[in-house]
Amino acid sequence: MSSERKANLFVVGAMRSGTTSFSEVLSKHPQIYFSPIKEPNYFVDSLPKALYEPSRFFDLETYFDKKFPSPKHIAHIENPIHYQTLFSQAAEQHIYVAEASTAYLHAPDTARRIYEYNPNATIVIILRDPLERAYSHYRMDLGLGREKQSFEHCMTTQLKLQRSGDLPWYTYLNMSFYDSVIEKYSALFKTVICVRFEDMIDNTDSFLANLSAELKISPFGYYLFDKNNAAQTPRFKSMWYWGRRLGLKAPFSYLFPSKLKQGIFQKLSRTDRSHLEISNPLFEELNEVFKKQSLNYYKSV
């Protein structure tokens, strides 16, 4: 792999912090080549089903033999040849060769693995209000049929696990903890750029100007961010939940074209942009925990 172009720009998260919109902007810049699989997750040793459950109709060998470089959102690539192939079309004009696996921010030992692959890589971390990020993550799982409990129930349970030291890294709560993971990346990499989701959405021009200056590339063109991947709340939550548990999602995805699937999903769902509602005691406890675990976000506000 040493003779080939290596990825040297990693958008490592946070999940549900606008990384899809951000990656789209990067991919349009003439000096950046972006992986056709946005989240290859190559440096994650074990990717839990809570984050990714591959369709039994998807095969990586078939993708690279017949469909590459068609765009795909997520996969779990373990073969180094497959990973290198993702960047095989990068040209001399591309200063950066990029990917954006959001599990990298919190998955154990990922920072070290990326460093061993390319110690000169640039790391970008997008920070979002921790509670809003956790809620957006929860709503996404509702829409995907991964979750059926209330947000209050989930967070109460996860706070108990956090107090006992048993909180899994991929939970809504833990993936909104930023400080310790930023410290891990900063200890290894010379260039770690932390930006705010809210600045990306609300102050796009200055956000992109600052980003191009930090990356030392030509200015980005005009771009209006929307909140890509806005969570869809299913109208029939039990139907989505049990449909996934019974293995109906994979054949549905395989049999129907993308546009038809999106139309059916939108008919049976609603875009949920409502603000979260939780009890005051839980709200206060979460705020206290986040201010201890995600001080980097609050310092930047």
Q: Kindly tell me if the per-residue pLDDT of 261 is higher than 60.
A: no
71-105: per-residue pLDDT in tens? 999 999 999 999 999 999 999 999 999 999 999 99
Q: Is the CB of residue 100 less than 8 Å from the CB of residue 19?
A: yes
Dihedral sign (CA 188, 191, 196, 200): negative
Q: Kindly tell me if the per-residue pLDDT of 239 is higher than 70.
A: no
User: Can you tell me the mean pLDDT for 182-206?
Assistant: 98
How many of the other CB atoms lie within 10 Å of CB of 10? 27
33-85: per-residue pLDDT in tens? 999 999 999 999 999 999 999 988 999 999 999 999 999 999 999 999 999 99
CA 157/CA 242 separation, integer angstroms: 22
Domain-embedded: residue 43: yes
Q: What is the mean pLDDT of the chain?
A: 90
Residue 269: predicted pLDDT: 47
User: Can you tell me the mean pLDDT for 293-298?
Assistant: 97
Q: What is the CATH number of the domain that holds 93?
A: 3.40.50.300
Q: Give the confidence band of 1 by pLDDT, cuts at 50, 70, 90.
A: very low
Domain-embedded: residue 262: no
How many of the other CB atoms lie within 10 Å of CB of 88? 11
Q: Is the CB of residue 124 less than 8 Å from the CB of residue 12?
A: yes
Q: For the chain, what percentages of helix, strand and coil (3-state, to nearest 5) are there?
A: 45, 10, 40
Domain-embedded: residue 78: yes
More confident residue, 189 or 300: 189
Residue 2: predicted pLDDT: 40
Residue 238: predicted pLDDT: 54
Residue 79: predicted pLDDT: 98
Residue 248: predicted pLDDT: 55
- As for how many domains the chain has, the answer is 1
Which domain does 101 fall in, by range?
A: 9-137+175-230+295-300
CA 122/CA 299 separation, integer angstroms: 22
**Among 297, 293, 275, 274, which Cα is nearest to 285's?**
293
Q: Is the CB of residue 19 less than 8 Å from the CB of residue 11?
A: yes
Q: Kindly tell me if the per-residue pLDDT of 150 is higher than 80.
A: yes
**Among 47, 51, 77, which Cα is nearest to 64's?**
77
pTM above 0.75? yes
Give the amino acid at 166: D
CA 128/CA 132 separation, integer angstroms: 7
6-22: per-residue pLDDT in tens? 999 999 999 999 999 99
